[in-house]
Amino acid sequence: MAYDLIIQNIKELILPKSVDRPLKGKELDELTVIQNGTVVVDDGKIVYSGPYTEDYEAKEVIDASNRVVSPALVDAHTHLIHGGSREHEMALKRQGKSYLEILESGGGILSTVEATRQATEDELFAKAEHALLTMVHHGVLAVESKSGYGLDKENELKQLRISNRLAEKYGLTMRHTFLGPHAVPKEATSNAAFLQEMIDLLPEVKGLADFADIFCETGVFTIEESQRYMEAAKAQGFKVKIHADEIDPLGGLGLAIDEEAISADHLVASSEEDKAKLNHSNTVAVLLPGTTFYLGKESYADARGMLDHNGAIAIATDYNPGSCVTNNLQMVMAIAALKLKLSPNEIWNAVTVNAAKAIDVDAGTINPGDQANIVIWHAPNHEYVPYHYGVNHVEKVIQKGRVIVDRHLGLL
């Protein structure tokens, strides 16, 4: 029998475990890396992935000599759809203006909200499409996409429609998150009234969104308000997420664990008490070191402490126009190595299998039976990708067994 595709002579084949829960603690450093590997694909699925073999024939053979092969990456936290940009804020940040000071002056999220409201659906689609294809070119085939720059019914629905259109057009694995309570708009009479407006919108967004998210932070929403929203979302059948403890240690991680959130994200300021609770939870701590880097902060999320408490962590870009303006997950992998002190094995697991668990998708592995979403890397070993930072190491991206990106040919 001739199968569809064989990838042969693989210098290093990266095989994260297929698991029914996220990898926790020391498990994150356990990664199978096979020297001289082979991958066999048929009908868009993995038939074989392991040591070199000549037991299979195929219609197409790719020679991966001196190359690394891995599952396609998973970006578990992005603000993909937004209008405008905020490059003018870079100078303010360098002058010492804080994120909250810029927000209070009408900048930050609120300026992006205005640009998003003014943009047409087609304009936002084109902008997001370009950003998404950049992610694909950098090895990502599963993406979480949040709303949160509309802050009213019309524009939140507009963002979620665009997210779904992108997934349909490109056949990508995408999850869509309703982040209505991302900030409080200028026209709101109070935090409580706006939060109720977003809670009332939950039934209408249910057909467009997989998750409900909220920004729990000083000057935005309190622990009590976040809990109210999360419980209302769960009552509507949503799995919940939370932007937590980004700036101040309000206890958002602990709330996420208590509410059985699928993920808690940011967590730069999380308390020791809350980090210890990760031991008894499958809530994934999605860490966003690119954001800390861009904001020029000295303190990063305590990845090592979370792992020491047997927690589950993932790494994502947080691609957005204000606090992390990159859609290159490879760059964030490098920052995770340098600033979060993660090993290469931990990083690869954090952007594949654990990132997939953080957004509830079947992705991040290429074991028999899995979808054949694969990246061939122009790199001598798996440690090289986070080591040589700031460039794109992708040679080929394979989606469901078909090469869709070739560095020599572009998007196919």
> Which residue ranges make up the annotated binding site for Fe(3+)?
77, 79, 243, 318
One-letter-per-residue 3-state SS of 133-153: HHHHHCCEEEEEEECCCCCCH
Tokens of 197: 């407006």
Q: Would you list which residues are annotated within the binding site for N-formimidoyl-L-glutamate?
A: 149, 320, 322
- Which segments within 251-357 are labelled E, that is strand? 263-266, 284-287, 312-315
Rounded to an integer, what distance in angstroms lies between the CA atom of residue 257 and that of residue 284? 9
**What CA–CA distances, in Å, run from 369 to 46, 62, 323, 357, 399?**
5, 20, 38, 18, 15
Q: Which residues are annotated as a binding site?
A: 77, 79, 86, 149, 182, 243, 246, 318, 320, 322-323
Please report, for residues 34, 231, 280, 284, 331, the alpha-carbon distance to residue 351 in angstroms, rounded to integers and kept in the order given: 19, 29, 22, 12, 12
Q: Assign 89 to helix, strand or coil.
A: helix
Q: In whole angstroms, what is the distance from residue 55 CA to residue 173 CA? A: 31
* Alpha-helical segments (H) within 56-152: 89-94, 99-104, 109-118, 121-137
Phi and psi torsions of 164, nearest 5°: -70, -35
Is the distance from CB of 38 to CB of 46 less than 8 angstroms? no
The candidate with the shortest Cα–Cα distance to 327, out of 144, 153, 158, 172, is 144
Q: Give the helix/strand (H/E) hosting 7.
A: strand 2-15
Instruction: Count the alpha carbons within 13 Å of 178 in the hemisphere toward its beta carbon.
Output: 34
Binding site feature residues for Zn(2+): 77, 79, 243, 318
- Provide the annotated binding site for 4-imidazolone-5-propanoate: 86, 149, 182, 246, 323
Structure tokens at 149: 């720059």
What contacts 382, CB < 8 A, 6 or more positions away?
Answer: 12, 14, 31, 33, 68, 70, 344, 348
From residue 28, give the alpha-carbon distance in Å to each of 72, 294, 304, 310, 330. 18, 26, 11, 10, 18
Checking phi first, is residue 275 left (phi over 0); if not, alpha (psi -120 to 50) or beta?
alpha
